[in-house]
Structure 1
Amino acid sequence: MSNVELDANREERIKSEILVDAEDKEDRAMGWYYYLDDCLNFPFNAKWAKKGRKGIAPEKDVEVLGMATDEECLRDMLVEIVEVGGSDDDVEVAKLTDLQVLDADSDTQEALDDWYYWLARGYKF
C-alpha cells in the first residue's frame, strides 16, 4: 500500500476528469495522455536524469516540447525533449517520472502533481 496520503480533491478530479469512462488499461492510459496533453503548457524546462539498467545517467538540462505520440504512451507517460541549446534534430523521448520540472506554470504543475500522485498511490493503467 502507498504511504502517500489520500487527497480527496485530487481523487475526485482523477475519477471525474481523467478516468471518467475508462474501462481497461488502454482507456486509462489514453485518459491520462489526453489530460496531460491538454493541461501541460509546453515548452517548459526540466532536469532529466535518464534511469536505465546501468543506473542513472548524468542530469541534463532539457526543454520539454510536448507529449510523445499516444501509441508511445500506452505503458507510461512520455514526452519529447531536447537538450537546452540543442537542435530540433536532437529530440529524444523521456518518461515524465525521469524529469524534475523547473519552471512550470500552475496548470502544468497541477497536472504533473496529479500524475505523480496517481503513481505514488500505486495505481496502474
Structure 2
Amino acid sequence: MTQETDQERDERIRREMLTDAYTADEQAISWCYHLEREMTFPFQARCIEERTITPLREGEEVPVVGMTDEVVSSREMFVLVKWMDRKFGVPLSQLEVLDVDQDTRDAVDDWHYWNGDADR
C-alpha cells in the first residue's frame, strides 16, 4: 500500500469495503468479510493492550488461527487465537501483527485505522 492521507484512506475504505453498507451492522459484516478474505491464517500477533475481556497480557505473542464464527459487535472484529490449551476470540484491535504477508498487514492496518476513530 502506498502512503495515503487519512482522507484518501477513508475514501478507499468506503469505496472498496463499505459500498452499500449503511448501518453499523452492515458495516461490521462488510469488515468481517473483508478481513476474512484478505488475512492469511495462521499468523503470529502480539498483544498491544490489556483488556478485561481477554486474558492476554501486553507483549504476549499468540497465533491467530481465524475469524470468529459470528460478528460479536459492530465496533470490534474478533479473531480466534490459540492460547494455552484452548482457542477463543479476542478483539483484533488488541493485537499487532508480526511477520505477515502484505495483504494481511494492510487489512489489519486498515481495521486499526478505521476502528481508532470513534466518531465514525
Larger fraction in helix: 1
Contact 1:50 1:94 in 2 (8 A): no
Gaps of 5+ in 1: none
2:97 to 96, 101, 122: 101
Q: 1:123 to 1:34 in 2, by over 3 A?
A: farther
Note the aligned Cα RMSD (angstroms): 2.2
Equivalent residue letter for 1:29? A
Q: Which protein has greater RCO, CA pairs closer than 8 Å, 6+ apart?
A: 1
Q: Structure 1 residue 52: deviation in Å?
A: 1.4
Partner SS state of residue 96, structure 2? strand
Q: Give percent identity, aligned residues only.
A: 33
Greater Cα radius of gyration, structure 1 or 2: 1
Residue 33 of structure 2 corresponds to residue 34 of structure 1: yes
Q: Structure 1 residue 50: deviation in Å?
A: 3.7
Q: Distance in 1 between matches of 2:62 and 2:31?
A: 23
TM-score after normalising by structure 1: 0.78
Gaps of 5+ in 2: none
Q: Structure 1 residue 70: deviation in Å?
A: 2.6
TM-score after normalising by structure 2: 0.80
Equivalent residue letter for 1:61? E
Residue 56 of structure 2 corresponds to residue 60 of structure 1: no
Q: Distance in 1 between matches of 2:113 and 2:75?
A: 17
Q: Distance in 2 between matches of 1:123 and 1:30?
A: 19
